[in-house]
Amino acid sequence: MVAQALFEAGFVVEFIDLCFEKKPLQRISEAIRKFSPDGIGISIRNIDNCDFLSPKSFLFEIKELTDFLKSSTSAPILIGGSGVSIMPLQVLQFLDLDYAVIGEGEVAAVRFFQSVTTGDNGSIPGLISRKEHLSDHNPAQAVINPVVPQIYSWLDTRRYLKLEPVLPVQGKRGCANRCLYCTYNRIEGGNWRLREAASVVEEISIAMRQTGAREFEFVDSIFNQPEGYLETLLEEILRRRLKATFRVSSLSPKGLTKGQVKLMEKAGITSLVVTPETASDVTLAALRKDFTEADINHAAELLSGSSIKALWCFLLGGPKENVNTLAKTIDFVNRHIGKKDSAFITTGIRIYPGTGLHELAIREGVVEESDSLLMPSFYFSPEITPQKARDTLRNGLSDLSRCIFLSDTRSSSLGPLRRMGTLLGLPGPFWRYADYMNRITGSGRIISSDWSPKSVDRK
C-alpha cells in the first residue's frame, strides 16, 4: 500500500519482497546497483515470535539487512510497519537508524520522501526521528486507505497463493476496545475507521480477476464490530454476487446473533477465528475484555450449529490466571471444540510498551521500568506456574489433537505439508487439519515438553 501511495504521488518505485529470498543481501545489492534509490522504505511486520516457551527475536536478522543497506548507499532509510509502530524509538536505536513511521505509512512515507529534497520533515504526522528528537507525533489516521490496495501490482501473488490460496483484505482499521495487552491502538489507532463496503467488494472483485484468487480473508482487528458493519459488508458481497469464499481472522464473541451467523454462511464465510482469549469471567475482566463467559458460550452454541469452522484462540497465563480460571477454559474447549473446530493456545503474554499490561508488569516487578522491552518479555500470572498450567492442560483437555499450541507451529514439517495440501487442492484453512499435524509432530509437541521460561534465541 505504501508502494502504491508513492507511485501515485509520482515516485518511481522498485519493490523488493524478501519473503522468499534465499540470499536477501545479494538481492538488495543487485537492486541498489540497478535502481540507485534516492530513498529506501522498509516494512517490518514482527520484531519477534511472541512465543514465551521458545522466544526468538528477529531484530538481529533485520539489523544485518539494515547495516548492509547503510554500507551500500547513503539514501535516507525510513522504517515502518506494525513491528516498528509498537516501539519505534527502541527499534531505531537498536538498528542505529534515524527515521520511523508510527502507524500507517501511505501518507507519512510520501511526505517523508518528498521532504528529502525540501529538507522539511518537521510536521509529518506519525514521523519519528531519533536525532532530530521528533517523537510521539500522532499518526495521520483521519483517512482510511488513501490508496486502493493492489497487492498484485507489487508482489508475486502466485507464490503466496501456492502456499495458501487466500488473499488478505482489510475492511477497516483501528479498534475502539482497550484490551490490557493489545497494541492495535498504537498500530492502527483507537477508533474504528471503516471503508465503504462498495470499495472493499470492488477491491476483491478486481483481485479475483487479476490473480485468480477465489478465497479472501478479512484481517480487520475485529470483524463484527462496530455494530452494523458486518451486515453492511456482507450484504454488499451478496448484492454483487461474488463467486468467492471468505475467512475472518478475528471475530468477537460479544453479541453474536443467529441472524449474523446465517448471513455469514450465506455470504460465503467458511471459517473464522474467534478470539475470547480465556473462558473465565475473572480473567476476561483482568484482560479488560468487553464480553463475558455467557457471551462466549452463546457464540459457541450458535457457531456449532452452523457450517462455519471456528478456530478458538486462547491466551493462557494472563493476570489472575490460576488453576480455577484455567479449568474454565479447559471445560469450554472440552464442551465446544467439535470435529470441525480447533483451539489455538498461546502461553504467556508479550509485554509491549505503553499497554496496561506493561504498567501491571512494572507494578508486579515482572519488568523494570527502564527495560526497553525490545527483546521478548512476557507476563505470566504469579498465581500459577507454567509447569502447573501445562499439567492442568494435559490432564484436563479431553482431545489434545484438536489443540494447536503456538510453539508447535514452528515445526519444520508444516511448510512442506502446507504446500502439498495446496497442490492437492485440499480446502483451507490448514488449521482444520490440526489432528493430522499433531500426529506428525507427535511426542515432540510442546505439551510434552518442559514449560520453564527459555532465554531468547537471537539467531
Nearer to ligand SF4, 128 or 179 (CB): 179
CB atoms within 10 A of CB 30: 12
Nearer to ligand SF4, 178 or 340 (CB): 178
Among 169, 175, 279, 389, binds ligand SF4 (CB under 6 A): 175
Three-state DSSP string of 229-258: HHHHHHHHHHHHCCCCEEEEEEECCCCCCH
Binding marks (x or -) toward ligand SF4, 221..240, rule CB under 6 A?
xx------------------
CA angle centred on 297, ends 292 and 302, rounded to 5°: 125
Q: Which three cell numbers stand for residue 33?
A: 546497483
Minimum distance from CB of 94 to ligand SF4 (Å)?
25
Nearer to ligand SF4, 346 or 441 (CB): 346
* From 42-50, 77-85, 176-184, 446-454, span contacting ligand SF4 (CB under 6 A): 176-184
Sheet containing 309-316: order of strands? 167-169, 215-218, 245-251, 269-277, 309-316, 342-347, 403-405
Nearer to ligand SF4, 144 or 222 (CB): 222
Minimum distance from CB of 188 to ligand SF4 (Å)?
8
Whether 109 and 101 have beta carbons less than 8 Å apart is answered as yes
Minimum distance from CB of 182 to ligand SF4 (Å)?
3
* From 65-73, 117-125, 175-183, 237-245, span contacting ligand SF4 (CB under 6 A): 175-183
Binding marks (x or -) toward ligand SF4, 185..224, rule CB under 6 A?
------------------------------------xx--
Whether 456 and 56 have beta carbons less than 8 Å apart is answered as yes
- What backbone phi and psi angles, to 5 degrees, belong to 444? -80, 0
* From 38-46, 179-187, 387-395, 423-431, span contacting ligand SF4 (CB under 6 A): 179-187
Residue 77 binding ligand SF4, by CB under 6 A? no
Residue 179 binding ligand SF4, by CB under 6 A? yes
Minimum distance from CB of 285 to ligand SF4 (Å)?
14
Minimum distance from CB of 225 to ligand SF4 (Å)?
8
For residues 236-270, one letter each, b for 16 or more C-beta atoms within 10 angstroms of the residue's C-beta and e for the rest, the string is: bbeeeebebbbbbbbbbbbebeeebbebbeebbbb
Whether 144 and 194 have beta carbons less than 8 Å apart is answered as yes
CA distance 258 to 261: 5
* From 42-50, 151-159, 173-181, 412-420, span contacting ligand SF4 (CB under 6 A): 173-181
Nearer to ligand SF4, 222 or 233 (CB): 222
CA distance 440 to 69: 40
What radius of gyration do the chain's Cα atoms show? 22
Task: Count residues binding ligand SF4 (CB under 6 A).
Answer: 8
Spell out the residues 6+ positions from residue 382 whose beta carbon is closer than 8 angstroms to its own. 364
Nearer to ligand SF4, 242 or 357 (CB): 357
Minimum distance from CB of 181 to ligand SF4 (Å)?
7
CA distance 237 to 230: 11
Q: Which three cell numbers stand for residue 277?
A: 482469549
* From 21-29, 53-61, 170-178, 263-271, span contacting ligand SF4 (CB under 6 A): 170-178
Among 177, 270, 342, 346, binds ligand SF4 (CB under 6 A): 177
CA distance 172 to 227: 13
Nearer to ligand SF4, 160 or 223 (CB): 223
* From 145-153, 177-185, 304-312, 359-367, span contacting ligand SF4 (CB under 6 A): 177-185
Minimum distance from CB of 354 to ligand SF4 (Å)?
13
Spell out the residues 6+ positions from residue 241 whose beta carbon is closer than 8 angstroms to its own. none
Element (H, E) at 276: strand 269-277
Minimum distance from CB of 187 to ligand SF4 (Å)?
9
Q: Which three cell numbers stand for residue 318?
A: 494472563
Minimum distance from CB of 172 to ligand SF4 (Å)?
11
Among 182, 274, 299, 310, binds ligand SF4 (CB under 6 A): 182
Element (H, E) at 379: strand 378-379
End-to-end CA gap in the chain? 30
Among 52, 99, 184, 216, binds ligand SF4 (CB under 6 A): 184
Sign of the Cα pseudo-torsion (274, 275, 279, 284, in order): negative
Coil/strand/helix, residue 433: helix
CA distance 416 to 181: 33
Nearer to ligand SF4, 37 or 353 (CB): 353
Whether 276 and 329 have beta carbons less than 8 Å apart is answered as no
* From 69-77, 174-182, 341-349, 450-458, span contacting ligand SF4 (CB under 6 A): 174-182
Nearer to ligand SF4, 121 or 185 (CB): 185
Residues that bind ligand SF4 (CB under 6 A): 175, 177-179, 182, 184, 221-222
